[in-house]
Amino acid sequence: MKRFIEHQELARDRRFIRQANIAADLLATMPDDVNAVVDLFEKIGPVIEAGTRGTAAEPLYDRFGPAFTLMTLNEPIRPGEPGTEDRLKMRMHGIYVGELQALEGAGRSLWDFPDAPWEFKMNMARQCWDEARHVQIFEKLLEHVGGEVGMYAESTFLFEAACADDPALRVAGVNRALEGLACDVFRDNIEFAKQSDDELMEQSMDYVLADELTHVRFGSEWVAEFCKDDPERLKRARDFRRETDRRFNFGGARSNEEGAAIPIAWEDRKFAGFTEEELEDLAALGGEGPSRATMKQAIEILVSRFQAGSAIDEEVAS
Amino acid sequence: MTETRMYPGTGKDERTTFAPYSAFDIPQDLRELHGRYDVETTARRVRNFRYAEEWMMMMLGGWLATVPEVPVKTGLGKIIWEGARAADEFGKRLPELRCGKRAAESSEAGNQAFADFIQEVAAPETPDLSIEKLAGVFDVLKPHLLGLYERHMRETDQIADAPTIEILEDIARKTERHIAWGHEVLDRLCDTDAKRQRRHARQRELTELLEKSGGVTGELALDH
Ligand SMILES: [Fe+2]
Ligand SMILES: [Fe+2]
C-alpha cells in the first residue's frame, strides 16, 4: 500500500454522493464586497446545482438558487426558526461526513508515518477508535433529526485541506484546524440542544466534544514536539494551520463576532492547548473576507435574481 | 533441624500457632517450574509479537480510507486501538525482561521473510479489494498470532513468566473477538462463489508465504 493518498481516493459505499466544494475555497479569498460575492455565486451556480441533484438539497436549490449554501452557512441555527429543520439535517450530515474524514485522516497518519514516535502512533490509534465512535454517534443523531446518510452530497475538502505529507503539518491541519473547527461546531450545537431541550443530543455531543478536545491537545503537543528544534518547521506548521483555518471560516461564518453562525469555542480551545495569541489570530482571520452584512445583501440579490429568472423560464415554457 | 518459621514483627521466642499450609484447604500448586523459553527467548518473542501487532494496526489505519463499507471502517477503528494497546503492553514487558528502559518501544521482525510477508498482507489498496485486505488479517495473520500466543502461554514457565502470560491472556481474548468479527464481515462480503473463491485464493497465497517465512517468530518450521 502506498503512502499518502489524494482526497479523491477516499472510498465510499453507494449511498454517498461526492461534490467538489469550490464555494468554501473561493470564499476564503473573497473581498468584503457584495458584487464580488454575487458574481462568484452566479458563476459557480451550475456546480452548486449539480451537487444538489438527486439529494435532499434539490428543492432548496430550486427555491433559492446557488445562494442556498450561503443561507445555510451564514446564519446561526435557532430552534423554531424557518428552515431550522433542514439546516439541522444538513449540519448533522456535514458533521457525519466530517467525522468519517477525521477517522480516515487519523488512520492515514498511522500508515503514512511509520517512523513516527510510538506515543504518536498510540495517540493516532486512539483517535481512530474515537472517530469511529463519532461516526456511529452522528449516524444516530442524523436519524434523530429525521435525516439519513447520503441525503446530501459530501465534499471531502476537510480531508483535502487538512492532510499534509509532513507529520507536523498533518497534525497542525487535522488535529488543530479540523478538530478545532469540530469543537466550535459542537459547542454551538450543544447550546442549540439545550435551547431545544434535546437531552439526547446535548449529552452525546458533550462526550464527543470531550474527545475532540483530547484530539486538539494531541495536535498541540505533537506540533510542539515535532518542531522543537526547528523554528522553520514550526513556522510552516503554523502557516499551514492558518491557511487551513482560513478555509474553514467559510467566508466569516465562523468568527468571534456577535451572532456568528459558528462562534469560536474560545474556552474549550484554550483548554486544548490553543494560546490566547493563536485565538486572537483565529478571530482576526474570521474577520477577513466578506462580513455577515455583505453576505446577507449578496444572498438577497442572488435569491431575487434567481427567482426572477425562474419566473421568466416558466413563462417562456408556458 | 527444622526451624520454626518466623513471621515479620514477631520475636524469636514468640512463635505463631499457624501451621504453614495444611490448616487451610488450599489446593496444592501443581504448576511446575521451567518452561520452553528462557528470558532472552521470551524477550525476543515479545519483540516479534510487538512487531506484528504494530504493523497490523498501522496497515488497518491505512485501509480506513480505502475500504468503502462504513461498518467496516468503524469496526476497524476499535480493532486498531486494541492492536496499539497490545503492542504497547508487549513493549512494557521488555524492560522487565532485561532489555533496558528504551526497549519498550522496540519491535523486531522474526526475520526478513516475515517482514516481507507483512508488507504483502498490507499490499492491497484499491476500494474493490476489501476481501483481500480483510482475508490477509482475519483469515491468516490474526489466527496465526492467536495460535502462537496460546502456545506461549502453555509452554512458558507458568510461575516465572506469569507476567507475559497475563498480557497474552488479554490480547488473545481480544484477538479471538477480532477474528470472529472479521469472519462475520468476510462471510457477508463474499456473497458469490467468485468472491468466496477470491477469499480462499488470498488465504492460500498468504498462508504459503507465512509458512515459508517461519511465522512471526521466524521459527515455525523448528517449532513443529
Ligand atoms: Fe470526531
Ligand atoms: Fe476528533
pLDDT in tens, B131-142: 999 999 999 999
**Lowest-confidence range among A52-56, A201-205, A224-228, B9-13?**
B9-13
How far is it, in rounded angstroms, from Cα A193 to Cα A187? 10
HSE-CB at B112 with a 13 A cutoff on CA atoms is 0
At residue B91, does pLDDT exceed 70? yes
Q: What is the distance in angstroms between the Cα of A5 and the nearest Cα belonging to chain B?
A: 9
Q: Quick one: pLDDT at residue B7?
A: 58
A56 close to B (CB below 8 A): no
Provide the pLDDT for residue A158: 84
Instruction: Find the length of chain B.
Output: 224
Of the listed ranges A110-119, B17-26, B108-117, B183-192, the least confidently predicted one is B17-26
> What is the structure's pLDDT at B224?
42
Q: Answer left, alpha or beta for residue A117, where phi above 0 means left and psi between -120 and 50 means alpha.
A: beta
**Cell numbers linked to B92:** 512494557
Q: Does residue B168 form part of some domain?
A: yes
Per-residue pLDDT tens over the stretch A48-106: 898 898 899 999 899 899 888 888 777 788 898 888 899 899 999 999 999 999 999 99
pLDDT digit string, tens, across residues B9-33: 556 666 666 666 555 566 777 888 9
CATH number of the domain to which B101 belongs? 1.20.1260.10
Of B64, B83, B125, Cβ closest to residue A107: B64
Asked if B127 is an interface residue toward chain A (Cβ–Cβ < 8 A), one would say: yes
Identify all chain B residues contacting A132, using CB atoms and an 8 Å cutoff. Answer: 73-78
- Would B86 be classed as within a structural domain? yes
Asked if the model's pLDDT at residue B95 lies above 80, the reply is yes
Angle at CA A49, nearest 5°, toward A43 and A50? 110
Q: Could you give the CA distance from residue B118 to residue B120 in angstroms, rounded to a whole number? A: 5
Asked if B199 contacts B139 with a C-beta cutoff of 8 angstroms, the reply is yes
Q: In this predicted structure, what is the pLDDT of residue B1? A: 47
* The residue count for chain A: 318
A103 and B77 within 8 Å at the Cβ level: the answer is yes
Residue A209 CA, ligand 1 centroid: distance in Å: 8
For chain A, the domains span 7-317
Contact B73 A10 (CB under 8 A): no
Distance CA B54, CA B42 (A): 18
pTM for the model stands at 0.92
Task: State the DSSP code for B2.
Answer: P
The answer to whether residue A143 neighbours chain B at the CB level (below 8 Å) is no
Cβ neighbours of B84 in A, within 8 Å: 121-122, 125-126
Average pLDDT, stretch B179-193? Answer: 98
Alpha-carbon separation of residue A153 from A21, A30, A148 (angstroms): 10, 24, 12
CA of B105 to the centre of ligand 1 (A): 28
Nearest to A252, CA basis, from A268, A239, A263: A263
Q: Does B19 touch chain A (CB under 8 A)?
A: no
A125 burial level (CB within 10 Å; 0-12, 13-18, 19+) = buried
> Across residues A132-161, what is the average pLDDT?
94
- Grid cell 476481501 is found at B131
How many angstroms does the Cα of residue A130 sit away from the middle of ligand 2? 7
Query: Pick from B156, B143, B144: which is nearest to B213 by CA?
Result: B144
Q: How far apart are CA B28 and CA A239, in angstroms?
A: 68
- SS3 letters for chain A? CCCCCCHHHCCCCCCCEECCCHHHHHHCCCCCCHHHHHHHHHHCHHHHHHHHCCCCCHHHHHHHHHHHHHHHHHCCCCCCCCCHHHHHHHHHHHHHHHHHHHHHHHHHHHHHCCCCCHHHHHHHHHHHHHHHHHHHHHHHHHHHCCCCCCCCEECCHHHHHHCCCCHHHHHHHHHHHHHHHHHHHHHHHHHHHHHCCCHHHHHHHHHHHHHHHHHHHHHHHHHHHHCCCCHHHHHHHHHHHHHHHHHCCCCCCEECCCCCCEECCHHHHHHCCCCHHHHHHHHHHHHCCCCHHHHHHHHHHHHHHHHHHHHHHHHHHC
Contact residues, chain A, for B123 at CB < 8 Å: 1
User: Please, which residues bridge with residue A154 across strands?
Assistant: A18
B101 touches chain A (CB under 8 A): no
- Domain assignment of residue B219, yes or no: no
Q: Return the residue in B47, B70, B174 with the most chain A beta carbons within 10 A, the one to mutate for interface testing.
A: B70
Mean pLDDT of chain B: 91
Three cell numbers, residue A137: 454517534
CB A145 within 8 A of CB A56: no
**How many domains does chain B fold into?**
1
Boundaries of domain holding B165: 36-214
Quick one: cell of A164?
A: 499534509
Cell of A124: 493516532
Start-to-end CA distance of chain A, whole Å, equals: 58
How high is the pLDDT of residue B10? Answer: 59
Report which of residues B208 and B3 the model is more confident about: B208
Q: Ligand 1: distance of its center to the CA of A127 in Å?
A: 8
Query: What is the pLDDT averaged over residues A23-38?
Result: 83
CATH number attached to the domain at A7-317: 1.20.1260.10
Give this complex's ipTM: 0.92
Q: Is the pLDDT of residue B223 over 80?
A: no
Give the pLDDT band of residue B5 (cuts 50, 70, 90).
low
CB nearest to B65's CB, from A107, A118, A121: A107
